[in-house]
């Protein structure tokens, strides 16, 4: 119970240091906790291109060709995600947030009868909640440049978000995941 309490407090903290300690620990009391916490840390913007790991996976899937929203989720869970944790509602939120950046890395190329607009292409409910065919999504040139590290995703002003107790505000210095060093860094 004390290790669970420690993890919960670390998750609520406004800095990631306690989470990093848990991510590298080898405590056998909760043997999967360190892997889960490390995966959580990988959702922070990358030091390389500003994408969280799920966002990166979505763009990599779209780099292979356009897909339906459900097709992206299926590939994400079956082919990319090393530690499945994401439900369809959270996936929809991530996809929708990515479409709201100033210059989005992805675009809706077919609404298939859904109520989206150019300003809000993923308006309405998740595709799989209704009877209409799913929207078709494609990678933009901006998305390709982000994947290559030529553009930092946070420079495109995606909506702010929270990862536990840490706010990710594109307008402020923020914590990022450095994949090469496998640690968090504060980037101004």
- Please, what are the domains in the chain? 50-170 (1.10.10.10)
Mean pLDDT of 58-71: 96
Q: What is the pLDDT of residues 156-169, one digit of tens each?
A: 999 999 999 999 99
Q: Distance (Å, rounded) from C-alpha 107 to C-alpha 126? A: 16
Q: Is the pLDDT of residue 27 over 80?
A: no
Burial class (CB in 10 A: 0-12, 13-18, 19+), 87: exposed
Instruction: Name the DSSP class of 154.
Output: G
| pTM reported for the whole predicted model | 0.94
Among 85, 99, 72, 79, smallest CA distance to 36 is for: 85
The predicted structure's pLDDT at residue 131: 85
* DSSP states of 92-130: HHHHHHHHTSSS-SEEEEE-TT----SSSTT-SS-GGGS
> What are the pLDDT digits (tens) for 110-165?
999 998 888 899 998 888 877 889 999 999 999 999 999 999 999 999 999 999 99
| pLDDT tens-digit readout, 40-59 | 999 999 999 999 999 999 99
The predicted structure's pLDDT at residue 118: 85
């Amino acid at each position: 119970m004390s290790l669970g309490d420690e993890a919960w407090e670390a998750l609520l903290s406004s800095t990631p240091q306690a989470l990093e300690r848990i991510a590298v620990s080898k405590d056998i009391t909760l043997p999967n906790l360190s892997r889960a916490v490390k995966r959580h840390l990988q959702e922070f913007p990358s030091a390389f291109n500003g994408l969280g790991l799920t966002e990166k996976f979505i763009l990599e899937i779209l780099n292979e060709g356009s897909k339906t929203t459900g097709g992206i989720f299926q590939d994400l869970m079956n082919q990319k995600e090393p530690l499945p944790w994401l439900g369809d509602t959270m996936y929809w939120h991530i996809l929708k947030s990515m479409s709201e950046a100033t210059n989005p890395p992805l675009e809706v190329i077919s609404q298939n009868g859904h109520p989206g607009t150019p300003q809000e292409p993923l308006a309405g409910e998740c595709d799989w909640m209704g009877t209409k065919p799913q929207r078709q999504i494609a990678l933009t040139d901006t998305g390709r440049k982000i994947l290559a590290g030529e553009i930092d995703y946070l420079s495109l002003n995606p909506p702010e978000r929270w990862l536990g107790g840490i706010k990710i505000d594109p307008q402020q210095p923020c914590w990022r995941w450095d994949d090469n060093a496998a640690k968090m860094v504060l980037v101004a």
